[in-house]
Chains A and B, each alone.
Chain A
Amino acid sequence: MPWTPKTTRPILTSRIPTPPYGDWSKRHIVSYDEYTKTGVVPGYAALRKALTMTPEEVTEEVKKSQLRGRGGAGFPTGLKWTFLPKPDAATGDGGVRYLAINADESEPGTFKDRLLCDFDPHLVLEGIAICCYACRIQTAYFYIRGEYHHQAKVMENAIKEAYAAGVFGKQGFFNGAATKNPFSNASGGTGWALDCYVHRGAGAYICGEETALLEGLEGKRGWPRNKPPFPAIKGLFGKPTIINNVETLAHLPFIIHEGAGEFMKQGCESSIKGAPPSYGTKLMGMSGHVNKPGVFEFDLGIPLRTFVEQYCGGMRGGKKFKGAIPGGISMGILGPDQYEAELDFDIGRKHNVLGLGTACPTVFDEDTDMVAVARNIARFFKHESCGQCTPCREGSGWLYQLLSRIEEGNGKSKDLDLALEIATSMGTMPGTTICGLADGNNWAIRTIMNKFPDEFQKRVKPTFVPVRLGGLAVGAGV
């Protein structure tokens, strides 16, 4: 049955021309003025609406929409917000708390948040303002990876424009528009007082892990923290902190302006009984062996085959599909028989991968050497392991060595067992690693080895075990 999109208009990309709605060549940086006049929701209209609601009503609307975080884990955003300590009932004062925006998009295959920072920075800033209003936050840090030089500048400029327009700063929002402002009776009653700053990272994948990101913000090594305490209780500078992904925040203006009901008309229900649904659209970045790669916006639930063949011009050179990583290399791999996999939050349970991740598939054609893919991934994790936990630090190095050896043709068949044993034991035992990096490494290598066993078998020599036969040592292939 052919897949039909539910969305008839772009939502996140309403100002960023994207096929099938628009033409890539017309993309440009949307200024504050253009932002307020264009788009599926006129710019900052949603923030104006939010300010007529109480923070609790805004949170409730986001909870109702069942928006799930777009950074990879798919955690319900509204629920995350409610983990913050309750503000003082009489004054509404929540004390000092922070928002950290995760724009440390560093996982190979993932390049979707970059699109928003590149072209429509104010959509993100409006989302930040709405989140800060709902969570009574007065300071937001936009943690962007160091390699995004251009994007950091675009965001800096947009923040300057937003300060001038009163979205940020202490001079009052839109020249003191009437609001149910939680800040008017909090922290000395200065009125709307939200600050937003860009904080540049410096080349460390691990800083995309939320507590490592906080360490980076505090000027320390990006070492993930032990949890609990969770950041919502004790985060940045020891204060309650919310960490949200760029794309998650960019969904907020539509949800608040059009209502949770409109948002839930996009995306799909879960086909697994009792599992949470995958509502809304998603930015999906296609890369690898397809004719027209790039970032698109689709309803969650689009089958991979439809995405490749209908929107990305099919496989490059008319080659056959061999496999795909659903959304960042830590998610594992979809095999040749999983081309029909639907890109929604159920994918992990249905297709033996870790999860949807960032929904940015990297597609491989029939000529791809899967041993090389595994080696590339192992090298990445070896390089990016922060070194705190032994299973991850040592395991990732061993895996890379073993897979390199197999790729070069010097592997023995026992190396396969050893590699699989290491991969399977990394991060699976609860409490042996602080963060999920080892688990991502484990899933990636394990699924590649399990879904393409022949390719690995072909590359190794049999292991010779000396067997004693009447006093003579004879090699026997195993």
Chain B
Amino acid sequence: MAWITKNSAGTQIERRSEPYLTPAMRKDLSERILPRYAVKQACVLPCLHTIQHEYGWVPAQAMEEIAEFLGLKPSEIIDTASFYEEYWLKPKGEHLIQVCRSIACEFCGQKDITEACKRKLGIDVGETTDDGKFTLIELECLGSCGSAPAALVDETLHENLTAAKIEAIIDQTAKSGAHGHGHGSHNGSHGH
């Protein structure tokens, strides 16, 4: 007789009692964003942006809440969320360093920038520091080709970078203490 070896159909979702989509967010979204569109599904991206901005990632529970809020199926939300790179479906560090690796940046010194970040943080591309402060990734074009190399640190663009410059930016960001993603209380290194 066959038996189940994989629990893919019954994947557990980590839950917390406090909703991710807060009443204040619901109010803002229903008053300001929902009336803009002919159908509710068009609000999926704005809703996901709200969650991503607040918590630094999009937990599965938040996607369920968005689905309930917009009258959609949770599968429709994860379908969209998993397509777009800006949404993190797993927790990441408090601050996100995104180094552009596209054509103009790569041939104007991007490799030095990535190496400087790796050295400074002691991690490889795609990793998060042990203290959960920084995540380092490379991504495609930031639209800053005339001032290459460039990197996006949280939501701020830094251009004409040198190794020394990005190291100073990392120092400054670490010192600032503020969370890169809005003002959420979530620490990305360990889930709730």
A interface residues, Cβ below 8 angstroms from B: 96, 105-111, 114, 145-150, 195, 197, 199-205, 216-222, 237, 239, 285-289, 293-295, 325, 329, 360, 362, 364, 368, 372-373, 376-377, 379-380, 383-384
Interface check B148, CB cutoff 8 A: yes
Fill in one digit per residue for B9-47: 1 if any A CB lies within 8 Å of its CB, else 0.
Answer: 000000000000000000000000000111101111110
Are B155 and A222 in contact, with the CB atoms below 8 A?
no
Can you show 11 pairs from A to B with CB atoms below 8 A apart?
A: A110-B143, A147-B142, A148-B143, A149-B155, A201-B86, A221-B79, A287-B148, A289-B107, A325-B103, A362-B103, A380-B102
Interface check B55, CB cutoff 8 A: no
Interchain nearest-CB distance for A369 vs B (Å): 9
Known: A110-B143, A203-B86. 7 other contacts (CB 8 A): A106-B141, A146-B86, A147-B152, A199-B46, A237-B39, A368-B107, A372-B106
Fill in one digit per residue for B90-121: 1 if any A CB lies within 8 Å of its CB, else 0.
Answer: 00000000000111101110000000000000
Q: Count contacts between A and B, CB distance < 8 Å.
A: 138
Fill in one digit per residue for B137-175: 1 if any A CB lies within 8 Å of its CB, else 0.
Answer: 001111111111000100111000000000000000000
The residue on A at minimum CB distance from B83 is A221
User: Please, which residues of chain B bring their CB within 8 A of the CB of A373?
Assistant: 103, 107
Given A147-B152, A293-B147, A109:B86 Cβ within 8 A: no
Are B45 and A380 in contact, with the CB atoms below 8 A?
no
Interchain nearest-CB distance for B76 vs A (Å): 8
Are A237 and B38 in contact, with the CB atoms below 8 A?
yes
Interchain nearest-CB distance for A378 vs B (Å): 11
Are A111 and B144 in contact, with the CB atoms below 8 A?
yes
User: Please, which residues of chain A bring their CB within 8 A of the CB of B134?
Assistant: none
Which interface residue of B42, B80, B83, B104 has the most chain A CB atoms within 10 A?
A: B104
Fill in one digit per residue for B42-56: 1 if any A CB lies within 8 Å of its CB, else 0.
Answer: 111110110000000
In whole angstroms, what is the CA distance A429 to B192 when docked?
A: 51
Are B83 and A222 in contact, with the CB atoms below 8 A?
yes
Interchain nearest-CB distance for A99 vs B (Å): 14
Are A364 and B107 in contact, with the CB atoms below 8 A?
yes
User: Please, which residues of chain A bring their CB within 8 A of the CB of B104?
Assistant: 108-109, 287-288, 362
In whole angstroms, what is the CA distance A203 to B45 when docked?
A: 11
The residue on B at minimum CB distance from A220 is B80
In whole angstroms, what is the CA distance A442 to B42 when docked?
A: 33
Are A286 and B42 in contact, with the CB atoms below 8 A?
no
Are B43 and A202 in contact, with the CB atoms below 8 A?
no
User: Please, which residues of chain A bring their CB within 8 A of the CB of B103?
Assistant: 108-109, 325, 329, 362, 373, 376-377, 380
Are B140 and A106 in contact, with the CB atoms below 8 A?
yes
The residue on B at minimum CB distance from A383 is B140
Interchain nearest-CB distance for B74 vs A (Å): 14
The residue on B at minimum CB distance from A239 is B38
Interface check B84, CB cutoff 8 A: yes
Are A202 and B84 in contact, with the CB atoms below 8 A?
yes
Are A286 and B146 in contact, with the CB atoms below 8 A?
yes
Are B45 and A294 in contact, with the CB atoms below 8 A?
no
Interface check B87, CB cutoff 8 A: yes
Interface check B85, CB cutoff 8 A: yes
Are A219 and B147 in contact, with the CB atoms below 8 A?
no
Which interface residue of A199, A222, A286, A377 has the most chain B CB atoms within 10 A?
A: A199
In whole angstroms, what is the CA distance A338 to B41 when docked?
A: 49
User: Please, which residues of chain B bring their CB within 8 A of the CB of A368?
Assistant: 107
User: Please, which residues of chain A bring their CB within 8 A of the CB of B80?
Assistant: 219-221
In whole angstroms, what is the CA distance A108 to B86 when docked?
A: 18
Are B140 and A285 in contact, with the CB atoms below 8 A?
no
Point out the residue from A203, A372, A377 that lies within 8 Å of B84, measured CB to CB: A203
Are B84 and A200 in contact, with the CB atoms below 8 A?
no
Are B140 and A108 in contact, with the CB atoms below 8 A?
yes
Which interface residue of A107, A111, A201, A219 has the most chain B CB atoms within 10 A?
A: A219
The residue on A at minimum CB distance from B98 is A147
Are B145 and A111 in contact, with the CB atoms below 8 A?
yes
Point out the residue from A105, A202, A216 that lies within 8 Å of B87, measured CB to CB: A202
User: Please, which residues of chain B bring their CB within 8 A of the CB of A106?
Assistant: 140-141, 143
The residue on A at minimum CB distance from B87 is A202
Are B102 and A360 in contact, with the CB atoms below 8 A?
no
Interchain nearest-CB distance for A314 vs B (Å): 16
Point out the residue from B41, B85, B106 that lies within 8 Å of A220, measured CB to CB: B41
Point out the residue from B44, B46, B143 that lies within 8 Å of A105, measured CB to CB: B143
The residue on B at minimum CB distance from A295 is B146
Are A204 and B83 in contact, with the CB atoms below 8 A?
yes
In whole angstroms, what is the CA distance A455 to B79 when docked?
A: 43
